[in-house]
């Protein structure tokens, strides 16, 4: 993973983790221990899904730059569908409070997407790969 990719992941995961801690604390106050577990689980699911998605998208951008836009759309659609599947799977669980889980999942996803947009706008990513001067001069002569 290159430094700008790691920086992007850090700038997305940290605000999402902070939002998850806040959601777990608020859920713990209003819904008890199971609410806190539900809030923490929701934030953890979002960080794992979105982090893995960001990793896959960055790998695709390097390997197949012509597929980047289509892959991004497919990836985000798949992530939202997988989050919906997680909600359906854990709908009747007694491990944690499902309402706090769902609201934390939604809130953490919004925080991740906003942080990713901000990190991308602040990133100084070259859109043209600089080449070394020696190889161009050798091939030109």
Instruction: Write the pLDDT tens digit of every residue in 34-93.
Output: 999 999 999 999 999 999 988 888 888 888 888 878 888 898 899 889 888 988 898 888
Give the residue numbers spanning the domain of 19.
Answer: 2-122
Tell me the C-alpha distance between 96 and 34, whole Å. 4
Q: Tell me what pLDDT residue 60 has.
A: 83
Q: Is 106 among the domain residues?
A: yes
Residue 8, CA distances (Å) to 5, 23, 52, 106, 111 in order: 5, 23, 12, 21, 14
Q: Provide the CA 128 distance to its chain's centre, in angstroms.
A: 25
What pTM value is reported for the model? 0.78
Instruction: Write the pLDDT tens digit of every residue in 77-117.
Output: 998 898 889 888 988 888 888 899 989 999 999 999 999 88
Tell me the C-alpha distance between 50 and 76, whole Å. 9
Q: Is 49 among the domain residues?
A: yes
Residue 12 near residue 118 (C-beta atoms within 8 A): no
Q: Tell me what pLDDT residue 23 has.
A: 94
Total number of domains in the chain: 1
| The token pair that represents 93 in the structure block | 């669980």
Q: Is 16 among the domain residues?
A: yes
Query: What single string gives the DSSP state of each residue in 97-131?
Result: -HHHHHHHHHHHHHHHHHHHHHHHHH----SS---
Tell me the C-alpha distance between 99 and 90, whole Å. 11
Q: Is 22 among the domain residues?
A: yes
Q: Is 133 among the domain residues?
A: no
Q: Tell me what pLDDT residue 93 has.
A: 84
């Amino acid at each position: 993973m290159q430094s700008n990719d790691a920086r992007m992941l850090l700038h997305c995961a940290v605000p999402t983790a902070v939002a998850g801690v806040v959601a777990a604390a608020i859920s713990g106050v209003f819904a008890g221990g199971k609410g806190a577990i539900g809030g923490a689980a929701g934030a953890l699911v979002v960080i794992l899904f979105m982090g893995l998605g960001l990793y896959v998208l960055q790998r695709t951008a390097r390997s197949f730059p012509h597929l980047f836009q289509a892959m991004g759309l497919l990836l985000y659609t798949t992530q939202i569908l997988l989050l919906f599947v997680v909600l359906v799977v854990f709908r009747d669980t007694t491990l944690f409070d499902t309402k706090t889980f769902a609201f934390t999942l939604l809130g953490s996803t919004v925080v991740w997407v906003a942080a990713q947009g901000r990190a991308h706008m602040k990133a100084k990513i070259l859109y043209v790969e600089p080449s070394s001067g020696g190889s161009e001069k050798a091939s030109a002569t």
